[in-house]
Amino acid sequence: MAMMKIYSYRLRALLFSSPYRSFPSRSFSSSPFESVGFIGLGNMGSRMANNLLKAGYKMTVHDVNCNVMKKYSDMGVSTKQTPFEVAEASDVVITMLPSSSHVLDVYNGPNGLLRGGNLLTPRLLIDSSTIDPQTSRKLSVFVSNCTLKENKDNWEKPVMLDAPVSGGVVAAEAGSLTFMVGGSKGAYLAAKSLLLSMGKNTIFCGGPGNGSAAKICNNLAMAVSMLGVSEALALGQSLGITACTLTKIFNSSSARCWSSDSYNPVPGVMQGVPSSRNYTGGFASKLMAKDLNLAAVSAEEVGLKCPLTFLAQNIDGLHTRNITEYFAKLCLGQPLGFF
């Protein structure tokens, strides 16, 4: 109980304090960070890092995949064998990793970003992974208890932002991601131009963990709406209405949503989406299942009953290549039910 009180006190301090005295007089249209570290060069991370390179940032990168590391090394980008080495070479470090356990290992592992104890080189750590808000808040406390090796631009201490993204691989490639950012408002403003090198929108969500909370709420709403749109379109076809006609109705009526007008699950209705490619590519169902689990766990921790979350989490339609393939499963009459 005493430890929980200490943690709550430190979290409140993070919410209402600034990590620095003041930024020097400068426009936030130019980034105050010269060297950027990036850890996690998968489908999303590699495209985000590439856009930072295009924007002219001096980059240092790390990934567990040696082939990916060689690719960046051949491009003339500095590569490091550990997250700690990336931190030592960077003003700011961005992580884009698959899960909470990966993020914790990169931060707190034997060769992690925080291996140096209480002394840190980077002023800012940004985690763009989709993880639970509780982990984001704990890491934010850990980082805030560290001290900067060098007091640069009047920052008093290092700070962390949780900044997960929406838009998927296509938006990561195009540099049109939306960032949902939790943490210090001042650090958010300082990081904004950096984030806009990888995206088109940044939304400040409040204190530490609120970016992660926003992301899992967004993906919960998307999952439920996709399942509902898929079932409605399948029912409509069974009743004699074509999917194209019903989609037009949805998109000019109260049923309109991203699942109907931007990511339609019916083959032939829309080009450039997984349903037009035999359900290949797109947002993998296993990742959606992970995000639904994060939402369910978070709801349980705060004592909120979310029955649709439970239904979406457990429906076996998620055992497909991507969530839009649930429609095909319905139409083919494959067994549907719950785990």
274 near 261, Cβ under 8 Å?
no
The answer to whether 115 and 186 have CB atoms below 8 angstroms apart is: no
Label residue 40 left, alpha or beta by phi (over 0 means left) and psi (-120 to 50 means alpha): left
The whole-angstrom separation of Cα 29 and Cα 124 is 17
- Across the strands, what pairs with 119? 147
The two three-digit tokens of residue 66, written as one number: 């040696």
Please say whether the beta carbons of 56 and 46 come within 8 A.
no
Q: State the catalytic residue, choosing from 200, 215, 286, 290.
A: 215
DSSP sequence for 23-40: --S--TTS-S-SEEEEE-
How far is it, in rounded angstroms, from Cα 141 to Cα 291? 23
DSSP-based three-state secondary structure for 125: strand
- Quote the Cα angle for 294-111-216, to 5°: 15
290 given a catalytic annotation: no
Three-class secondary structure of residue 208 per DSSP:
coil
Find, among 264, 254, 253, the residue nearest to 226 by Cα.
264
- Cα 102 to its chain centre, rounded Å, is 13
Provide the 3-class DSSP secondary structure of residue 323.
helix
Strand partners, 178: 166, 201
The rounded distance, in Å, linking the Cα atoms of 176 and 335 is 38
Residue entry with tokens 């640069």: 152
Residue 143, SS3 per DSSP: helix
User: Six-digit token pair at 269?
Assistant: 């209705």
Where in the sequence numbering do the catalytic residues fall?
215
